[in-house]
A and B are shown apart, each in its own frame.
Chain A
Amino acid sequence: MSEIDSLMQGMSLILSAHHLGLMVVGVLLGILVGVLPGLGAPNGVALLLPLTFTMEPVSAIILLSCMYWGALFGGSITSILFNIPGEPSSVATTFDGYPMARNGQAGEALTAAFTSALLGALVGVLLLTFLSTHIARFALQFSSPEFFAVYLLAFCTFIGLSKNPPLKTLVAMMIGFGMAAVGMDTVSGELRLTFEQPWLLSGLSFEVAVIGLFGIGEILCTVEEGLVFRGERARITPMVILRTWAKLPRYWLTWLRSALVGCWMGVTPGGPTAASFMSYSLARRFSKNRERFGSGEVEGVIAPETADHSAGTSALLPMLTLGIPGSATAAVMLGGLMIWGLHPGPTLFVEQHDFVWGLIASMYLGNVVSLIVVLATVPLFASILRIPFSIIAPIIIMVCAIGAYSVHNSMTDVGLMLIFGALGYLFKKLGYPIAPLVLAAVLGDKAEDAFRQSMLFSDGQLAIFWSNPLVASLTSAALVMLFWPLLAKAIASLRSVLGRKLARRPA
């Protein structure tokens, strides 16, 4: 098995004190941003990005990805102990996690959450280990039209499957594309859309948008809701952990189902949030203890946590193989890869063999490290949340300002962060999604290049997107996804009409 060989090679690359140290630092920072209101995985990674420019790419990606795992874990701590989801993807964990904590089972709930999170993540990494090479090899045949069709599929899926109104998703996405277009045209090298403003010459960077939209916007929403942290105490002892572990195997079916849901939603741009909700409702539908859901059922913690983490890890599969991130955090990491001078996509597996397998190997190790670190530090991080908001908020804002400044060493970016902050507040309150904006801001240039190349091939004929079976099926799939809500409605009404006709017909 060449995958196993590559994996072992990756393992030998990352098994050093330096990298293990980076993992622990990454996980701790990740738990911190996951726990704090206003900071989440996407902007935690964006804040850390400028600090990684001087690092080796492998070390940098280990730091960033471990921060991602840490943030996913941190989100569950606040959900369970404080009934406040630190991350949107851990909202579903509050449904049963917080009632468990109130019943005095905080330790059990946390252990179950972390353990199922680890198991979920491992399924995602296994998928990555054994599928990525094949997908990358397949994608090596892609040329520009195929790539554009894949991008189109990703963006259309966002619009079609999003819970937000489709027009609002479209607006958010187009703002992202617009941001990417400002500055230098990557094809001709010509400056465009700068309106003779010197501060627009270097373009609008997605990091600033992420920091403003997620960081400042989130703080403003938190203030408006008048958030008060009133948490349950957590005591995690080795006895509690062992007792919970002994109970977990009986939920293997829930775990398996949730992991599959998570992988599917992670690979397609459904993302961890959709995955955790879907998995929770599936678990409730199939559970024997259906009536106990919502009042502290451990199955209601296992299901969303498993799906959340398997979606989080499998979101890296399309990011590495096709250059399409499955979640906002993956989008920011993808931006990082491009800044480090790597080209995400199928060629990455050929040209940057060590980088890819170092990353995959670090995901196995990083998730295990996360579990140990998070179990050991729950009381510490729970006490951080008891620090008054009047201390935490200004410090978070300071960190955001420093982060925005350090992207290009310019004050303009800090000002832009403010504008994006106000926009993020409005977006969140009016139901505009933020993730598509980030995704489009990161991918905009690549999508445009692919589109313009295809147009060059075909002399401006859109028919090139149906010129061979592969690209035709991708483009058609994209259109199906785009109109999926309408199609689903049409099929449903057709069925009911047919059903009525059949019923009317005399037997």
Chain B
Amino acid sequence: MSSPSDTPLVATRWVETGLALFTGALGAILMHGSLAIGIGWGDAGPEAGYFPFYIGLLLSCASLGNLLLALLRRPAVAESFVGRQAFRQVLAVFLPIVGFVAAIPFTGIYLASILFIAWFMWRARRAGQGHRWLTMVLVSCGAALASYLIFALWFKVPLPAGLLGDVANVLGGLRP
């Protein structure tokens, strides 16, 4: 929970409203998609959209209820949803994750993981936590190596190797 000294960023009411609108829209999409494939009674009984349509309807109705509750209930939802400082910290973790995921198709999962872990530790080091350079290299490379050994070698789950995989292929191709 955000500390009381933290300046509020946004009231809970508006986040509630936003989420209710989002789930309501999901319900609408469900209903729309179901209508497109038929929600009635076909030759073989209920059509494919029969069940999802009512799911969408219930979802939209429940979201509408949540929306009304969020707008009408005054004191309970007027308080702060998240403080400025706390939210900055959340973003400081969430945005790098987005970057990490976005990088995987280009660099492969191993290189992206090494960079991601190392960057996380480097930031903590700047903030005053004493990670030595050696620790940073060992942890980030060790984690990537461990995931390669466990997933790719042991359980035979092919992970996107990206650049490193290309390099490995080239090196493998060079071998006589």
Contact = CB atoms under 8 A, between A and B. Distances in A.
Interface of A: 50-51, 54, 165, 167-168, 170-171, 174-175, 177-178, 181, 185, 187-188, 190, 192-193, 195, 216, 219-220, 223-226, 388, 390-391, 393-395, 397-399, 401-402, 405-406, 409, 411, 414-415, 417-418, 421-422, 425-426, 429-430, 432, 448, 451-452, 455-456, 460
B137 to A, nearest CB: 13
B118 to A, nearest CB: 9
A223 B90 contact: yes
10 contacts: A171-B23, A390-B120, A394-B121, A398-B117, A398-B143, A401-B104, A402-B147, A415-B101, A426-B15, A432-B19
Nearest to B118: A394
B1 A171 contact: no
Contacts of A393: 93, 120
Contacts of B74: none
B132 interface: no
Contacts of A460: 41, 46
B101 A401 contact: yes
A58 to B, nearest CB: 18
Given A390-B129, A430-B16, A452-B51, A167 B62 contact: yes
B117 A395 contact: yes
A411 B58 contact: no
B34 A193 contact: yes
B93 A456 contact: no
A406 B104 contact: no
A137 to B, nearest CB: 30
Contact of A167 (B1, B27, B69, B160): B69
Interface string B113-151: 100110011011000010100000001000110010001
A224 B90 contact: yes
Interface in B59-108: 59, 62-63, 65-66, 69, 81-82, 86-87, 89-90, 92-94, 97-98, 100-101, 104-105
A429 B15 CA distance: 10
B37 A192 contact: yes
Contacts of A402: 109, 147, 151, 159
Nearest to B143: A395
Nearest to B97: A397
A426 B139 CA distance: 31
Interface of B: 1-2, 12, 15-16, 19, 23, 26-27, 30, 33-34, 37, 41, 44-52, 55-56, 58-59, 62-63, 65-66, 69, 81-82, 86-87, 89-90, 92-94, 97-98, 100-101, 104-105, 109, 113, 116-117, 120-121, 123-124, 129, 131, 139, 143-144, 147, 151, 155-160
Given A174-B27, A390-B124, A409-B158, A397 B116 contact: yes
Contact of A177 (B55, B89, B93, B159): B55
Contacts of A170: 58, 62
Nearest to A184: B48
Given A181-B51, A430-B16, A411 B105 contact: yes
Given A178-B52, A393-B93, A429-B82, A456 B26 contact: no
A406 B158 CA distance: 8
Contacts of B66: 165, 167-168, 171
Given A170-B58, A192-B37, A393-B93, A411 B50 contact: no
A220 B89 CA distance: 9
B59 A178 contact: yes
Given A54-B156, A220-B93, A401-B101, A178 B131 contact: no
B59 A190 contact: no
Given A224-B82, A393-B120, 17 more contacts: A51-B157, A167-B69, A171-B62, A174-B56, A174-B62, A220-B94, A223-B93, A224-B86, A224-B87, A390-B120, A394-B121, A397-B100, A397-B116, A401-B104, A402-B109, A406-B157, A432-B19
Contacts of B94: 220, 421-422
User: Top 3 closest A-B pairs, CB basis?
Assistant: A390-B124, A174-B59, A181-B52
Given A171-B23, A390-B123, A398-B113, A216 B49 contact: no
Contacts of B41: 460
Contacts, number: 174
A395 B160 CA distance: 17
Contacts of B56: 174, 178
Nearest to A431: B16
Nearest to B130: A388
A401 B48 contact: no
B82 to A, nearest CB: 7
Contacts of B44: 188
A455 B20 CA distance: 32
Contacts of B27: 174, 178
A456 B50 CA distance: 12
A395 B113 CA distance: 8
Nearest to B33: A193
A168 B143 CA distance: 39
B63 to A, nearest CB: 6
Contacts of A411: 101, 104-105, 160
Nearest to A432: B19
Given A394-B120, A414-B104, A224 B89 contact: yes
A390 B121 contact: yes
Given A398-B116, A411-B160, A390 B19 contact: no
B156 A225 contact: no
Contacts of B59: 171, 174-175, 178
A399 B147 contact: yes
Nearest to B98: A418
Given A193-B34, A406-B151, A421 B82 contact: no
A458 to B, nearest CB: 11
Nearest to A176: B55
Contacts of A405: 104, 109, 159-160
A188 B92 CA distance: 46
Contacts of B82: 224, 429
B169 to A, nearest CB: 18
Contacts of B147: 398-399, 402
